[in-house]
Amino acid sequence: MDTHVSFWRSRRKWIFAAAALPVLVAAWWAFRPEKLWVNHKVSEPAPFASNTDPQPLYTGRLEGKAHQTSGRATIYKTPDGKQYLRLTDFSTSNGPDVHVLLARSAEANLTQEIVKGQLDSVELGSLKGNQGDQNYDLPASVDLQKYNAAVIYCERFHAVFGLARLEPF
Amino acid sequence: MAFAFAASVHAQDAMKQEGKAKTLATGTFHGKVHSTSGRATIYQEADGKLVLRLTNFKTSNGPDVHVILVATKDADDDANFLKSSTERVELGSLKGNQGDQNYEIPSNTDLSKFQTVSIYCERFNANFGAAPLEKF
């Protein structure tokens, strides 16, 4: 008689299985690997009624380039579809012929274009003040995917005072 | 360029908004280990209540994931990133790993101190993603 019963036919298989099961359950509970594939999507409304107020679309912090510049630049859309750029906590140095522009944020482009005198930008007007909160209307058809930076720009000396990369709000 | 003048011009355009809720601070998520993205914004409602709202939000799903405020300027991707000395404010379990969601912030929370939102896996003390908040 063959006393050497193979593993898969022996009782050891069942003992092994009985011991392994709680380990597997514990490992599953701890790591919940199925969550790697299962998403749980929620969609809560904003905590306040706001569809009558301007909605922020993009925002970013201003960083100083040629001059120390700080604050926040935010693009809002009003309920009637108009868009404007708002600067808050804003401070830059005063200077001659300073304008607010929208440009493409890629640094290399910006510098090159300025050097060549062909800055690809959307003019929003002369800087109203070198400090304080201020709004600038955007032309109706600005591609904000492309012109994704707010730039404080001195036309006379082709100097970027400050720049804010705008990210979706 | 030395054409900065001592005088400064102060502009004061009004916000075209009779605010019911004020936006206090905002920031975007970064997270490498568990790719996390989106925006975190803290609002103050007219009655003074503070709300954290996540928008365009995405992280990986996981067990026992919480939303917390941490008393640091930012938080790195780092297992065991929370030292026992790191102060935090618990805002609740993550409602979903995707989508827009709101969390109430306890009213006595000092937002000048708790400047970072972290998506935090309690069970493994892992930081899924963090959003440093800056004044809006």
Residue-range domain boundaries for chain A: 8-36, 56-168
Using the beta-carbon criterion (under 8 Å), do B63 and A35 form an inter-chain contact? yes
Interface of B with A in 32-61 (CB under 8 A): 39, 41, 43, 45-46, 51, 53, 55-56, 60-61
Query: Residue B14 falls within a domain, yes or no?
Result: no
Quickly tell me which residue has 């930076």 as its tokens.
A149
Q: Which residue of A has its CA nearest to B2?
A: A95
Euclidean distance between CA atoms B44 and A11, whole angstroms: 66
Q: Is residue B17 part of a domain?
A: no
**CA of A73 vs chain B CAs: smallest distance (Å):** 9
Closest residue in B to A132 (Cα) is: B11
Domain A56-168 class in CATH: mainly beta
Question: CA-CA distance, A106 to A120, in Å (whole number)?
Answer: 12
**Does some domain include residue B2?**
no
B75 belongs to a structural domain: yes
Using a CB–CB cutoff of 8 Å, tell me whether B120 touches chain A.
no
- Please count the other Cβ atoms lying within 10 Å of the Cβ belonging to residue A161: 26
Whether complex ipTM tops 0.90: no
B48 located within any domain: yes
Chain A hits for B45, Cβ within 8 Å = 47-48
Distance CA B28, CA B36 (A): 10
pLDDT in tens, chain A (169 residues): 555 667 667 788 888 888 899 999 988 888 888 877 788 888 888 766 566 778 899 999 999 888 889 999 999 999 898 999 999 999 998 888 999 999 987 766 777 777 677 778 899 999 999 999 999 999 988 999 989 999 999 988 888 899 999 999 8
What is the sign, positive or negative, of the torsion defined by CA atoms of A150, B26, B121, B79?
A: positive
B88: domain range? 22-135
The domain spanning residue B108 has which CATH number? 2.60.40.200
CB atoms within 10 A of CB B41: 22
Quote the number of domains for chain B: 1
In the block, which residue shows the tokens 């939102």?
A: B117
The pTM of the full predicted model, rounded to 2 decimals, is: 0.77
